[in-house]
Amino acid sequence: MKQLFARLEQAARHHPQRILFPEGDDPRILSAISYLVRRNLVCPILFAKRSSLIRQWPASSPLLRKVVVLDPGLFDFAHHPSCLSYVHDFIAIRKKKGKPISLALAKKLFMDPMYFAVMMLACGEVDGIVAGATWPTPRTLRPAFQILRKKKELVSSFFLMKHQGEFYFFADCAINVNPSSNDLASIALSTAQSAKNLLHVQPRVALLSFSTHGSTVHPLSEKVREATVLVRKKDHALLVDGELQADAALKPAIGKYKSKLCFFSKPANVLIFPSLEAANIAYKLVEWLGHYEAVGPISQNLAKPVNDLSRGCTADDIIKVSVITALQAQQANRLGN
């Protein structure tokens, strides 16, 4: 993982992005930011009490001069003029999306600094957000979905799983509970694109099931089979196969033994699971029993990057997610999002 992230850090350093950390009082966040600033990987913005920073960094520390701090004690998120402007922008966004909201409810939502953070992102004042070290996933992603969701795109997520020289993309482990065949196709296409953008590798996409090419006839395996057909229709050049059992996807010789139609000559590196239940269980088993490193979940298809942290995350986890968020922000800015 060190060599892989050395390359990603080099790409992030080329054009540091403004990454906002709404939980800036957390010692793990501050430890991660110390690393990120010293290596010029991101330009951090924190919601934090300055006293918390001084406890970790001396008042004379050059780190304090390189970090933008919005202190809740001095900056009232609920009543600051910027917040009132964001509230009205948020109401306009919700109305445009066909989900109007009252002024009173919008003001109540903006008592949570996460809404303020996402509106800063939507208005171009920051380039990405990393949050969730101290609160559940819905608190991080709900504002992002309400404000940054693209009209015709399915928001999904992936984990980057790495062990020694091997890495895989697992999707969707965090967002879509019971995806339809159309949803699975979208997840597959988005994750393949993320693999290209992030690691510049050729994705080999396997849509997984308990069946290989019709070996078991069941509505659940049929859903995966239909999704594979949809992926091929939308991207003729993509290497994709399904429905496949996991061993057939990872061991081409086993795939050929089970079905002459299996065509991978190398193991699949993008694994699409039929449900969140299967994906979440699989990545945790691979992480804890297989001793793989899991980085994520990384969101995809938001207009601008917002990524969630586990409440059990380490400073190293935060560093890795922050670097990936910065690279996603570079991509979003290139596309003009």
Domain ranges of the chain: 2-149+303-335, 156-288
What is the separation of C-alpha 113 from the centre of its chain, rounded to a whole number of angstroms?
20
Q: In whole numbers, what is the pLDDT of the chain averaged over residues?
A: 87
Give pLDDT, residue 159.
94
Measure Cα distances from 334 to 14, 86, 92, 240, 304 in Å.
14, 25, 26, 27, 11
Q: What percent of the chain has pLDDT over 70?
A: 92
- Residue 165: Cβ-neighbour burial (10 angstroms; 0-12, 13-18, 19+): exposed
Place of tokens 């994705």: 203
Which residues face 156 on adjacent strands?
300
212-264: pLDDT as tens digits: 888 888 989 899 999 999 999 999 899 899 789 999 898 888 877 787 777 77
Looking at the domain that runs over 2-149+303-335, which CATH code has it been given?
Answer: 3.40.50.10950
Whole-prediction pTM? 0.87
Asked whether the predicted pLDDT for residue 277 surpasses 90, the reply is yes
70-122: pLDDT as tens digits: 776 655 555 566 677 888 888 888 888 888 888 888 888 887 888 889 988 99
Name the CATH superfamily, with its identifier, for domain 156-288: Isocitrate/Isopropylmalate dehydrogenase-like (3.40.50.10750)
